[in-house]
Amino acid sequence: MGSVIGLVVWKSFNGNIDISLIHLIILGVMGAIVSQIGDLSASLIKRHVGIKDYGNIMPGHGGILDRFDSILYVIPVVYYYIVIVLG
């Protein structure tokens, strides 16, 4: 829900964006679902391998990759939505 609200607020501040509100809502919902899948799949990999953190740079936070695992899954979804649906 936060991603949908964030996109609607973003559109209100950037009125020159030529994307309808319904597409932003769809992108927000899809992004929220896919980001959870990305986070859960990275956690599954860590559990399978038997490690707690991906690195030692940010101890206790899962490492650097744990900060970006959701984004790595969302970027292709948003890209292909823009190319296929909005393109």
- Burial tier of 42 (Cβ tally within 10 Å: 0-12, 13-18, 19+): buried
So what's the pLDDT on residue 8?
Answer: 87
So what's the pLDDT on residue 84?
Answer: 95
What is the rounded distance in angstroms from the CA atom of residue 66 to the CA atom of residue 64?
A: 5
So what's the pLDDT on residue 60?
Answer: 67
Give pLDDT tens digits for 10-56.
Answer: 888 887 878 888 999 999 999 999 999 998 988 888 888 887 766 67
In the three-class reduction of DSSP (H, G, I as helix; E, B as strand; rest coil), residue 14 is classed as: coil
Give pLDDT tens digits for 56-65.
Answer: 776 666 677 7
Number of other residues whose CB lies within 10 A of the CB of residue 72: 13
Q: What's the total number of domains in the chain?
A: 1
Number of other residues whose CB lies within 10 A of the CB of residue 87: 7
Query: Which structural domain, as residue segments, surrounds residue 12?
Result: 2-86
